[in-house]
Amino acid sequence: VTRATDSSSEQTSSRELLVDLSGAPRGGLGLELQRRLRDAIRSGRLRADAALPSTRALAADLGVSRSVVVLAYEQLGAEGYLITRRGAAARVAAVHPPAAAAPPRRHAPEPARPVAVDFRPGTADLASFPRAEWERAIRRSLAELPDAALGYGDSRGLPRLREALADYLGRVRGAIVAPDHLVVVNGLAQGLAVVARLFRRRGIDAVGVEDPGSFHTASQLEVNGLDTVGVPVDRDGVDADRLFRQAAGDARHAVAGPLRAVLATPAHQFPTGVILGAARRRRLLAWADLVDGYVVEDDYDAEYRYDHQPVATLQGLAPDRVLLGGSTSKTLAPGLRLGWLVVPPHLAAEAARHKHHIDLMTPVLEQAAFAELLASGGYERHIRRNRARYRRRRDRLLELLADHLPEATVSGEAAGMHLYVETPTVDEAAVVAEAARRGLLVSGIADYRKAPGPAGFVLAYGHLGPDQLRRGVQMLAGVVREGTSGS
């Protein structure tokens, strides 16, 4: 119990303390005094080591009973704000003032103008998110999930979601999936964190990545401790022969020994949009056998194929060599952070352990709602609706490009949500910068390359209505003309 004495000559008076209880409710004086003293100490108004007035003096000054002050000093002593010793004045303890908030960091430079059109790839049409169906699925899940399901569960994910996903991936993507070999993850980004851990444990510390390719997925491997090595992409997809040559010790491509893993987007290469040819598929798997390695298959927007049925997964050809990753980022919304990783059976237990160590498990209500959407057929209905919508937008963008940028070579139109537009005579960086100044956000191909190559742009259309598409292409063509007319 604290009893500060009245004797110390250096003691602060209540006026110096700047504690004023006027306006405080009579019944809450004690709590209010504690709060104001605490604030004064935190803000630095009361400096470390300053001696407080005696309980008697402060009570008299404030017009409260002494027990109110005694209790406040005791409480702040217990919390570490005051140092209290019997027979001595209570002193202010050294506390760390809160650091000034750092200015928020921006991921990308803000354009000088308001954004008129954003052609950058990476997202579904968020306006078409099936809100009503998702709400119903969440309600039903809340009603049906037993209490136990809200606890720490299986790190691989809710059994009913793993079963529904195994069925969906088998039926729609031609994959060979047992629910026990599938881990629900927070987007492919986290799937790749699991992959990186699996690889490092096997002495694989470099992964081949497509060039051009996704810097998102490559950097996910890099931040998880792996080197990435560019493997060229041509009209047939990732060049498996380069991997064979690299395995045979071609010095130009040798890193620290032969590669044993490659990350690829066979269904629709990002960003060129080419589909990995049948012969290349076999070659890639033959290479994986040769080096006793793995292919990581990023099935990122396989659902959107416009000319004929989507090509089935590589994983279905070699479930022991291929790790298949996918997510709802391109079908529902990236903000859900819901994805899956299917691993060969001999890696399944370890993959579950890595997921457990990363974050124990993926949020369970979202998993249950997604399982509900898969089981009800709502997920596939949503994809069908969006496929028709994206196809119309793709057709419109192709027409606009033919009218306004006829010199461009367009590819990747058979699938996905973006076009790959090559314009070799254009100063890509200058156009991207000038377009941004005018409020048109566009990605140059250079953003996705490791090795140099022809100039051009990646134009996403899935999230843009007809007016925005027209305005965007007109603006882009305007900047291209101005940039090339003077040269």
Ligand X SMILES: Cc1ncc(COP(=O)(O)O)c(C=O)c1O
- Residues at the contact surface with ligand X, assessed by CB under 6 A: 122, 187-189, 214, 216-217, 265, 270, 298, 300, 327, 329, 334, 339
**What is the enclosing helix (H) or strand (E) of 228?**
strand 227-234
Residue 481's nearest CA partner among 420, 434, 437, 439 is: 434
Instruction: Return contacts of 142-145, CB within 8 angstroms, 24+ apart.
Output: 142/365, 144/368, 145/364, 145/365, 145/368
Minimal distance, residue 301 CB to ligand X, in Å = 8
Minimal distance, residue 337 CB to ligand X, in Å = 7
Minimal distance, residue 205 CB to ligand X, in Å = 22
Biggest CA–CA distance in the chain, Å, is 93
Minimal distance, residue 186 CB to ligand X, in Å = 8
Between strands 456-460 and 443-444, the pairing is antiparallel
Locate tokens 């057929």: which residue? 377
Instruction: Specify the residue, 458 or 479, whose C-beta has the smaller distance to ligand X.
Output: 458
Minimal distance, residue 334 CB to ligand X, in Å = 5
Instruction: Specify the residue, 57 or 361, whose C-beta has the smaller distance to ligand X.
Output: 361
**C-alpha dihedral over 462, 465, 467, 471, to 10 degrees?**
-20
Query: How far, in Å, are 147, 148, 352 from residue 152 at the CA level?
Result: 11, 8, 14
Instruction: Specify the residue, 14 or 214, whose C-beta has the smaller distance to ligand X.
Output: 214
Instruction: Specify the residue, 84 or 329, whose C-beta has the smaller distance to ligand X.
Output: 329
Q: Round to whole Å and give the CA distance between 208 and 218.
A: 9
Instruction: Specify the residue, 91 or 382, whose C-beta has the smaller distance to ligand X.
Output: 382
Order of strands across the sheet that contains 227-234:
182-185, 339-342, 322-327, 294-298, 261-264, 206-211, 227-234, 237-238
Minimal distance, residue 268 CB to ligand X, in Å = 9
Residue 157 · residue 321 · CB < 8 Å: no
Instruction: Specify the residue, 161 or 475, whose C-beta has the smaller distance to ligand X.
Output: 161
